Structure 1
Amino acid sequence: MDDRFYMTNRQKLLFMVEELHNRGFGKLRVIPSLSPSGVHWRCSFIDETKEHRCIASNWIYGYEKEKSGEEIKLTTQELADLFVKENFEFIEHCKGENEAYTKWYSSILAQLKKGELPYAFADWEMPKGIWRTSEGNDIKTLPGEEKYYF
């Protein structure tokens, strides 16, 4: 078993969002964070109105391979199919375009190393204008991105 399955599976979740953006769900936003202990990575998905939310890290944890401590072998396209099927009510609120966000989001994915996860905030810090990563890197966010966090 790969000890890094946790990081790999969660990074695959982030790449799944890029696939969803490409399918016309451009109003889907990602809010990654750390648990109070700093041990667990959390990720919520919201629509641009902030009225609809999905705790994506719980969703990926519910996947059978994840529960058994294995890397998820589904492609990002297959994960996107599954996500849409299981979260249809939520994802419908994310239809539409936001070119500035989806371009920025794709650029952050391009900056991540294998298994590296970003976070927007943690209980002990709320960086302004950046997401930090599990590798200690900083990724510049879009102006005003913090308004979507709470």
Structure 2
Amino acid sequence: MTTLIAVRGDITAQTADAIVNAANNAMRGGGGVDGAIHRAGGPEILRDCIARFPNGLATGDAGWTTAGRLPAKWVVHTVGPNHAAGQRDRGPLESCYRRSLEVAQDLGARSIAFPLISAGVYGWPRREAITAAIDTIAATPATSIDSVALVAHDERAYDEISSALAMTTSVRILQGVRELHRRGFHRLRVQPGMAPSGMHHRIVLTDAADPGATIHYTSGAATDFAGGIADAMTTPPAVAALILGALPRLAATNDAPEYAAWFAGLLAAVEPEHALPVSFADYFDDSAGWEIGWGSGLRYPAPPR
């Protein structure tokens, strides 16, 4: 299983088999990450760019060159959309990660390190850039790649990526619940909320036919979930299998379609930004519905009874 981690450091110093360059369409070097990689790697990278990309590279696409003097074996170049110039469709940004992983896999790379593509001078909002990176990497089959790193140059970006990875684990658990609802396990109920400290997200899963059968998760426990491991790279079917293992009496009754539909709508509000739902917390009144993102004030109707 591929691991996805946050790393604080310099992309040019990463020892991954492949590092990703946030290039421009001309493919002749530039500023930011692009300039740093060309400076550290030496003229061999530019020579290879000229030879391999005589007409440049399209936005959302990726290709590779030598890594020159860098500790990596290859540089995978990709061109992100320029949000500041009005290129605000998330599709090309997702394509950058997907195509970079495909190129790295074709090269036989076992590890790859990404910067946050388009989040620098191209002005993509950082939270959305992080979410796009995590979701696309998790959804892209890369069976030969063991390790993917998201490299943050400063402490604030590192903290934001680390927090997003933790929140994504909670999202994956909720997606596992939706997976089971789709299979007819409608009596699986969810109570997400915040710990009293306000630092950790909690999820309680219950079999409505057996209220004593519960699964408790807290983001403070990192990847420990239902007697197994769940993280940002865990697929919803894999989470569903963990839930069924921990709630062996849960049955596919298919008898509460209203609840399943309500929960699917809740996830549709949660997934785009990983703004986790809250149904309980200190000093929180759920009579107006659940909050989408702690402290946001945005409410989603309470579940049907």
TM-score scaled to structure 2, two decimals?
Answer: 0.41
Per-residue deviation, 1:65: 6.9
Per-residue deviation, 1:142: 3.0
Task: Give the whole-Å Cα distance in 2 for the aligned partners of 1:31 and 1:54.
Answer: 10
* Pick aligned residue for 1:62 from 219, 224, 243: 224
Number of residue pairs matched?
A: 137
Task: Give the whole-Å Cα distance in 2 for the aligned partners of 1:10 and 1:45.
Answer: 12
Q: Deviations over 1:88-142 (max 9, x none)?
A: xx24235312111001000111112332100101121122040012261211113
**Which deviates more, 19-28 or 132-141?**
132-141
Task: Give the whole-Å Cα distance in 1 for the aligned partners of 2:181 and 2:238.
Answer: 14
CA contact (8 A) 2:207 2:250 kept: yes
CA 1:12–1:134 in structure 2 vs 1: closer, same or farther (change >3 Å)?
Answer: same
Residue 107, structure 1, aligned to residue 269, structure 2? no
For 1:39, give the aligned amino acid. Answer: M
* Pick aligned residue for 1:82 from 226, 236, 242: 242
CA 1:95–1:44 in structure 2 vs 1: closer, same or farther (change >3 Å)?
Answer: same
Q: Which residue of 1 aligns with 2:42?
A: none
- RMSD over equivalenced CA pairs, Å: 2.4
**Which is bigger in relative contact order (C-alpha 8 A, separation at least 6)?**
1
TM-score scaled to structure 1, two decimals?
Answer: 0.78
Rg: which structure is higher? 2
CA 1:24–1:60 in structure 2 vs 1: closer, same or farther (change >3 Å)?
Answer: farther
For 2:256, give the aligned amino acid. Answer: N
Task: Give the whole-Å Cα distance in 2 for the aligned partners of 1:45 and 1:60.
Answer: 17
Identity of aligned residues (%): 25
Runs of 4+ in 1 over 6 A off after TM superposition: none
Structure with greater strand share of residues: 2
For 1:130, give the aligned amino acid. Answer: G
Structure 2 unaligned residues grouped into runs of 5+: 1-5, 7-160
Structure 1 unaligned residues grouped into runs of 5+: 145-150
CA 1:65–1:91 in structure 2 vs 1: closer, same or farther (change >3 Å)?
Answer: closer
* Pick aligned residue for 2:182 from 7, 13, 22: 22
For 1:76, give the aligned amino acid. Answer: P
CA contact (8 A) 2:291 2:300 kept: yes
Q: Deviations over 1:63-92 (max 9, x none)?
A: 6876xxxx531211122123323x1xx242
Match runs of 1:1-150 below 5 Å: 1=6, 2-3=161-162, 4-49=164-209, 50-57=211-218, 61-62=223-224, 71-85=231-245, 87=246, 90-96=247-253, 97-112=255-270, 113-134=272-293, 136=296, 137-144=298-305
